[in-house]
Amino acid sequence: MKKGRYTTILIAIILILSFLAYMGLEGFTLQGYRFKSFGEVIKRGLDLQGGVTVVMEVQTDSLETTELDVIKNLLEMRVNKVGVSETVVTTEGAKRIRIDIPGAFNSSEIVKSLSTTGVLTFKDPDGNVILTGSDVKLAEARVDNTGAAIVSLELNESGTTKFAEATKKFIGKQISINMDAEQISNPVVNAEISNGEAMITGMDSLEEAQFVAGIIASGALPYPVKAVEVKTVGPTLGANALPNTMKAGMVGIGLVVILMIGYYRKPGFLASLALGFYIYLVLLIFYSIDATLSLPGIAGFLLTIGMAVDANVLIFERIREELKSGSDVKKALDAGFHRAMSSVLDANITTIIAGLVLYFVGTGAVKGFALTLMIGIVVSMFSAIVITKQLLKIGLHTGMLKKPSDFGVKEAIANA
């Protein structure tokens, strides 16, 4: 009865993995609802779909971290006017900002847009400019008495006069706040404001309020910026890269599975099942954290697949050593995992440390490689230590792993 129950569990695991693999590769539609494949939901980097990468450098000798963040937010607003989704804007080092724009190929127009100084304006309902950034003395994000996030504004003398006249005239109407041609807020005037203080409400979070306050406080770019690196990846190259990469990855994974089963036999088959769950979990994490997958990132992912198999190899070799010394299969399994643990942890923790260095010191594609490498390593340890171990125990209970020869160990050697 017990053997039959574990056999059913093993069959169920194989069926579940087969379903997850199909869903991850192809997706499916159920009653009109589309469950998308990983290829449809995971963002692709420029090298997989084409686009423009621009690295802007702030032209100043001294720059505070907060100033760099404000400039990053301003540039992000400008690049979003291109109408491209999934734009990635990140800071690099002390003075550089990297902007990845998928699907855009007019690099000269983008660089021109990013390099201009920018203008902050307050406009009436007819689109006439009431105030400019030079009229704002202070903009600060805070939380009001009700717990709602707001932006508090303090105007200078000329701004106070202009704003008092405008708010008196447009009570019940909206005055928009714009950076260049991008509207960042459109509050309704509830009463005349004559004390030079105003409040912008309607923010979803304090982070959003801080973003708007930073834009308003900075007005135009506080320092000029210059494009120091511009790269364009054509749509044809990007379109061909992903299918070729997927083919290479599938061939590599297939060869790994064949070698594992050919050398370790039944345990190798169970380890291949664990590898399937590992691949699904890593891709699920990429989707959950909204990661953008690039060619270096895929390379890091494929590297961790090899490292996941490497952990299984260490464990299986320890198990075989125990079997050769005369231990029965159950004791050999427990002892093999226990004795291989230090080697598995040492190898993976060392690689994680290297990944951390690459992530914090590297830029652009190097960061993507490091991030996927670290995520893959952590999940690979979970796969080897937990999933593979449980599958081997199920195999033991089903009678699939009942003698040393199932691990490729000859009976004569095991009983020596």
Please report the domains of the chain, with CATH numbers, ordered by start residue. 2-41+235-414 (1.20.1640.10), 51-117+224-233 (3.30.70.3400), 120-218 (3.30.1360.200)
Q: At what angle do helices 329-361 and 389-398 cross, to 10 degrees?
A: 160
Tell me: the pLDDT tens digits for 297-307? 788 888 888 87
For the residues of 360-387, what is the DSSP string, one character each?
A: HH--THHHHHHHHHHHHHHHHHHIIIII
Residue 290 has which token pair?
Answer: 């909204």
Return the number of other C-beta atoms located less than 10 Å from residue 314's C-beta: 20
Can you give the pLDDT at residue 353? 92
Can you give the pLDDT at residue 334? 85
Tell me: the pLDDT tens digits for 374-383? 888 889 888 8
Whether 216 and 199 have beta carbons less than 8 Å apart is answered as no
Which residue type occupies 34? R
Which residue type occupies 412? A
Residue 401 has which token pair?
Answer: 């792993």
Tell me: the pLDDT tens digits for 18-32? 888 888 878 877 777
Can you give the pLDDT at residue 347? 82
Q: SS3 letters for 148-199?
A: CEEEEEEECHHHHHHHHHHHHHCCCCECEEEECCEEEECCECCCCCCCCEEE
- Residue 95 DSSP label: T
Tell me: the pLDDT tens digits for 102-136? 766 666 766 766 666 566 788 888 888 888 877 88
Query: Smallest Cα–Cα separation from 70: which of 219, 181, 184, 179?
Result: 219
Which residue type occupies 279? I
- Residue 5 DSSP label: H
pTM of the model: 0.65
Helix, strand, or coil here: 326? Answer: coil
What are the CA-CA distances from residue 26 to residues 13, 41, 72, 151, 159 (Å)?
20, 12, 37, 46, 58
Give the number of residues written for the chain.
416
pLDDT band at residue 156 under the 50/70/90 scheme = confident
Helix, strand, or coil here: 28? Answer: strand
Helix, strand, or coil here: 402? Answer: coil
Tell me: the pLDDT tens digits for 389-399? 898 888 888 88
Helix, strand, or coil here: 98? Answer: strand
